């Protein structure tokens, strides 16, 4: 099942620089791992914002929640999820 996920990240201004660097490194490593597993096939940055727009491919809502909450920056995120379905006019649907 595909999900469109927007993640807005708001790190506290008083977060220690070392902790911030650790979190960002851990987030990058986890994102790369999920991409290699095929769970996170599309990842884009929103220009001018500390936000991402992504497509996740997982079987259930519960699994998506587990994946998102496993992200190191989870506690600093506002997340908006939209389940996706194939459009009948999509060229891929015509095959």
CA distance 74 to 8: 10
CA distance 59 to 49: 30
In this prediction, residue 94 carries a pLDDT of 76
pTM: 0.90
CA distance 81 to 4: 6
Can you give the residue ranges of every domain in the chain? 2-85
% of the chain exceeding 70 in pLDDT: 99
CA distance 67 to 61: 10
Question: How do residues 38-58 score in pLDDT, each as one tens digit?
Answer: 999 999 999 999 999 999 999
> Options 3.30.70.1060, 3.40.50.620, 3.20.20.450, 1.10.150.120; which CATH number does 2-85 get?
3.30.70.1060
pLDDT (mean) for 8-34: 97
């Amino acid at each position: 099942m595909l999900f469109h996920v927007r993640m807005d990240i708001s790190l506290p201004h008083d977060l220690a620089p070392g902790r911030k660097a650790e979190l960002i490194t851990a987030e990058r490593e986890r994102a790369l791992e999920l991409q290699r597993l095929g769970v996170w096939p599309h990842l884009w940055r929103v220009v001018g914002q500390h936000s991402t727009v992504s497509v996740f491919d997982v079987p259930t809502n519960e699994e998506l929640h587990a994946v998102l909450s496993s992200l190191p920056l989870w506690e600093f995120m506002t997340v908006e999820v939209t389940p996706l379905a194939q459009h009948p006019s999509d060229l891929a649907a015509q095959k």
